[in-house]
Structure 1
């Protein structure tokens, strides 16, 4: 939902996070225990995996390589965000996206390098956001990525 609200804000021309929304997010995150944080990180990695699998299939339908078309764009965009994303986090996010794009679990890929760091939280959120925005741009539908995840959750709940 955070990704969806950020996408809507950008599409509406708002570049600043709504202070009320920021307060709600801060309240939520401050009330989380260690297991809740792990679950949130696993969820973010799962979103990235799902987005990359969709992108991989979309690019393969046009005989294109998802890594070639997604990773350079992602890295270039993150480099233009130095206030939010420190340069040392960009290779980790690129590796995470490459893992997901080749069918590897981002959660398992990341575990080989240890625990997430505070510096990687915003880049992780930005990665999921940028992939969702990439999907929306490809489909020319500003709600496609959110709808895709909602549909997947609904289907999983019915199983």
Structure 2
């Protein structure tokens, strides 16, 4: 039985822009800086300002697509280790969110956990979230931070700070090759 939240019905969005923002945040985390580099933050803010309303929607959809792709990779990795992706990954990510009250206010954690669970069971996080209305301003930073935490979780599992970014880049490259050939 098909679900209205099946990924085949979901907009893909601007995965490249979303990946650029996530990768930028990961680099800041790995550079062991206690604060975001003001120059880097200004660059990201300028980029976001150039998007306009449709560009922002594309970026949001791209971020949801990244969450879906990361969770699918985690689901396969967990299955290979006889683990449950929800138990293994979502609980750890939610625990991390709870330790970051400035980024994740308590009221947004259930939504972010829902995105992860939807993606973990093969549903589109974008379509799952859409059934509750448009994104709110209060959800913007937590959405980005959720994608960053997820990418960092994958990087920690693999022991490679660039694995999550490379995973998506290679998938996009394979997709481009399939579209051309």
TM bin (shorter chain):
over 0.9
Partner of 1:86: 105
User: Displacement of 1:31 after TM fit?
Assistant: 2.4
Residue correspondence of structure 1 range 1-159 to structure 2 within 5 A: 1-159=20-178
Computed over aligned residues only, the root mean square deviation of the Cα atoms, in angstroms, reads 1.0
User: Displacement of 1:80 after TM fit?
Assistant: 1.0
- Alpha-carbon separation, structure 1, partners of 2:173 and 2:104: 33
**Match of 2:108, SS?**
helix
User: Displacement of 1:12 after TM fit?
Assistant: 2.2
- Alpha-carbon separation, structure 2, partners of 1:150 and 1:15: 28
Taking structure 1 as the reference length, what is the TM-score of the superposition?
Answer: 0.96
User: Displacement of 1:157 after TM fit?
Assistant: 1.6
Instruction: Report how many aligned residue pairs link the two structures.
Output: 159
Taking structure 2 as the reference length, what is the TM-score of the superposition?
Answer: 0.85
- Alpha-carbon separation, structure 1, partners of 2:54 and 2:142: 21
User: Displacement of 1:46 after TM fit?
Assistant: 0.3
User: Displacement of 1:154 after TM fit?
Assistant: 1.0
Structure 2's unaligned 5+ residue stretches are 1-19
Q: Give runs of ≥4 in structure 1 deviating > 3 Å.
A: none
**Match of 1:29, SS?**
helix
- Alpha-carbon separation, structure 2, partners of 1:24 and 1:12: 17
Structure 1's unaligned 5+ residue stretches are none
